[in-house]
Structures are given as structure tokens and as C-alpha cells.
Amino acid sequence: MTTFLAVKRLAFLALCCLGLAGCGPYSCMLTLACGTGLPHTDYFVVTFLSGTPAPSDAGLDAIANAVHQAERRTPGSIAITGSAPPDGPVPSLEQQRADAITAAFIKAGIDARLVRTVINPDTAAAYEQRKDSFTIGLDYGKVTQE
């Protein structure tokens, strides 16, 4: 019986070592439990009431969740991404929406230098689909600055 217990202990230690080394089926569990520090981005989609700078209820939740995550673990950068029509300047409504999201991070004490807003021209069809939403990306790990 002692040999059986010794073998079980060795098998358990081997699985743990494989997990810590990033090998085998248990590596995901161990890296989730311990944290990896691997570069990644957490995304949040903020929806707005059509034609207004006011976020929808789901949009308010998305902003609150993104801010909470940034407070828990400071990202390397925060990208607020929106859509603009293919021709002409960025509509003032889009800028107001981006400013409202940025203000939520600043109000929570997040360093304003981490926040960058990108409002890119899109095709007419894509703009119609995306005009009432923004994406927040919290970038962790190695982040390239533009």
C-alpha cells in the first residue's frame, strides 16, 4: 500500500511540474490560478442610446466593468475605439461619447495618460452598424505605442 501512495504522490508532483512548465493538460488550470503575465487585452463593448451621448443600461454596465477591471489591475494602455463615416470629419456625437468614456476612467483615478481614443473612418455599411457603440480595450503585458 505504501508503494501505491508513493506512486500517487509522484504522479501528482509530475502533473504539477508539467503544469508549471506550461506543458500538459493541467497547465491552463495552474496558469489561471497563478496568473501568467502574458500579454492580452480585455474588451468591453459600450452601447449608446441612438442619436444621444448617453450610454444604454448595458453600456453603463460595460463602462463600470471596464473601470472596475482597470482599478483592480492597471493596464499598460486603454484604447477607446469608435467608428466614423467614411467621408468627412468625426461627428461631434462620436467625440462626446468617447469623452464620456474617458471621463469615467479619470473620475475613478485611472491615469489619463493611459487612455487613448481612436475613431476610425469605416465603410458606410460598417458605420451604420457600429455608430452607436464603442469598444474599450484594456491592454496588459507588452503594449506597442502608436
Q: Give the pLDDT of residue 129.
A: 94
* Long-range contacts, stretch 5-12, CB < 8 angstroms, 24+ apart: none
* DSSP string over 68-100: HHHHHS--SEEEEEEEE-SSSSPPHHHHHHHHH
CA proximity to 134, closest of 87, 88, 102: 102
The amino acid that residue 33 corresponds to is A
Fold of 37-140: 60s Ribosomal Protein L30; Chain: A; (3.30.1330)
For residue range 39-65, list pLDDT tens digits in order: 999 999 999 999 999 999 999 999 999
Instruction: Round the average pLDDT of the chain to a whole number and report it.
Output: 81
For residue range 61-88, list pLDDT tens digits in order: 999 999 999 999 999 999 999 999 998 8
Q: How many CA atoms lie within 13 A of 3 on its CB side?
A: 0
